[in-house]
């Protein structure tokens, strides 16, 4: 559906061409999976051998690259092939997603405000007093509750749910099935063993350039706000409990859970399936290995942690190494006991 000649693409990328630059490109491929009509790139020298074999019609390559064998594909030479290729991907994605307008049926409250150049897919619901700023895209089946704000150029994919009064910043991407603003898990134990629900009256406030993965859940605060600061990237199936704060540019991998009222610093890197208890603080720049359990505040900036309960990274690696040798260790101790008791036997004789 998209079709440019190789020389047109070279023009877009500010590159120069070698070979048959009149051919039309209709697809993007990895160099090892290239096929006629596709374009690919070579940045990592590890993949150089594929250059001489690829069936792709065009390869984006470094200005200075000198081939060691004949190349069948046309070449587009640029300063930085990886960057050029990423730029190309972005342009193609923008073309594929050039959706605007309001599809029917959709439900838009008469008290809601919608900006310019928005896309509102069929079966979207926009509640009372909600604000949908310019350039926002809401894919089909997305629910935007009463009083919600969605900032400029943000994209919410299909079947996202945003509860009342939450705020999403500009240029965010929220993937399908994500739930923003569900009730925090707060229940007060009663004398008869049952629980009384503590109303969760706060909201969720998400900054700019935040990405939220598919089926990730972010609970609203009891009072105040659960806060996801600018530039945070959350993978799929993550749980963020009520009143949590996640600092700027922190990235978190899939299936991690963060318990209530915990504050995570900026520029953190948290692996997948990590669990973090409630009411603690994690300093800026902290790295946490996959499947770790964090049960205490971490004060040291840029420190690295691993294990459940977690230790400093290197210490945990040592413990793990000996854990694998525990059978040997036990045998050594049994041998020592035996040796010593024989010795005692001997000396007593």
Residue of the chain from 231, 263, 280, 304 that contacts a second copy (CB under 8 A): 231
| 333 interacts with a second copy by CB under 8 A | yes
Q: Which is nearer to a second copy, 5 or 239 (CB)?
A: 239
Site string for a second copy, 147-186 (x = CB under 8 A): ----------xxx-x-xx--------x-xxx-x--xx-x-
Q: Which is nearer to a second copy, 7 or 291 (CB)?
A: 291
- Residues that bind a second copy (rule: CB under 8 A) add up to a total of 105
168-173 long-range contacts (CB < 8 A, ≥24 apart) are 168/206, 168/210, 169/206, 169/207, 169/208, 169/209, 169/210, 169/230, 170/133, 170/208, 170/209, 171/208, 171/209, 172/206, 172/208, 172/209, 172/210, 172/211, 172/212, 173/210, 173/211, 173/212
Residue of the chain from 154, 229, 249, 261 that contacts a second copy (CB under 8 A): 249
Quote the least distance from Cβ 315 to a second copy, whole Å. 7
Q: Which is nearer to a second copy, 15 or 271 (CB)?
A: 271
| 12 interacts with a second copy by CB under 8 A | no
**What are the beta bridge partners of residue 228?**
206, 246
Residues labelled as active-site residues: 242
| 301 interacts with a second copy by CB under 8 A | no
Quote the least distance from Cβ 6 to a second copy, whole Å. 18
**Residue 171 CB-density burial (10 A; 0-12 exposed, 13-18 middle, 19+ buried):** middle
Q: What is the DSSP letter of 44?
A: S
| 100 interacts with a second copy by CB under 8 A | no
Q: Which is nearer to a second copy, 16 or 233 (CB)?
A: 233
Residue of the chain from 81, 121, 135, 207 that contacts a second copy (CB under 8 A): 121
Question: Can you give the three-state secondary structure of 114-146, one letter per residue?
Answer: ECCCCEECCCCEECCCCEECCCCEECCCCEECC
Distance CA 297, CA 247 (A): 15
Q: Within positions 64 to 93, which residues make up the interface with a second copy, using CB under 8 A?
A: 86, 89-90, 92-93
């Amino acid at each position: 559906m998209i079709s440019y000649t190789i020389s047109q693409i070279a023009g877009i990328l500010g590159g120069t061409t070698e070979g048959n630059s009149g051919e039309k490109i209709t697809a993007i491929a990895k160099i090892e999976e290239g096929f006629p009509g596709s374009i690919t790139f070579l940045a990592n020298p590890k993949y150089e051998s594929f250059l001489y074999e690829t069936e792709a019609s065009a390869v984006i390559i470094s200005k200075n690259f000198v081939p060691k064998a004949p190349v069948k594909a046309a070449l587009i030479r640029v300063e930085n092939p990886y960057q050029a290729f990423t730029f190309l991907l972005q342009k193609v994605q923008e073309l594929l997603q050039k959706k605007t307008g309001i599809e029917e049926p959709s439900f838009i409250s008469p008290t809601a405000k919608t900006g310019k150049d928005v896309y509102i897919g069929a079966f979207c619901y926009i509640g009372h007093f909600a604000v949908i700023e310019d350039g926002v895209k809401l894919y089909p089946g997305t629910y935007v509750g009463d009083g919600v704000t969605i900032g400029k150029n943000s994209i919410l994919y299909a079947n996202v749910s945003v509860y009342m009064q939450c705020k999403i910043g500009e240029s965010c991407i929220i993937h399908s099935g994500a739930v923003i603003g569900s009730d925090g898990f707060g229940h007060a134990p009663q004398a008869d063993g049952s629980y009384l629900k503590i109303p969760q009256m706060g909201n969720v406030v998400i900054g700019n350039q935040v990405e939220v993965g598919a089926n990730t859940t972010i609970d609203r605060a009891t009072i105040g706000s659960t806060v996801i600061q600018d530039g945070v990237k959350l993978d799929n199936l993550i749980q963020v409990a009520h009143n949590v704060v996640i600092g700027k540019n922190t990235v978190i991998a899939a299936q991690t859970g963060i318990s209530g009222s915990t504050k995570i610093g900026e520029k953190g890197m948290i692996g997948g399936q990590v669990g973090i208890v409630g009411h603690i603080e994690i300093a800026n720049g902290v790295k946490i290995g996959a499947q770790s359990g964090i049960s205490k505040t971490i004060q040291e900036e840029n420190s690295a942690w691993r294990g459940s309960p977690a230790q400093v990274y290197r210490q945990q690696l040592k413990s793990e190494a000996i854990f694998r040798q525990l059978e040997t260790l036990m045998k050594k101790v049994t041998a020592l006991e035996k040796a010593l008791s024989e010795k005692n036997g001997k000396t007593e004789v």
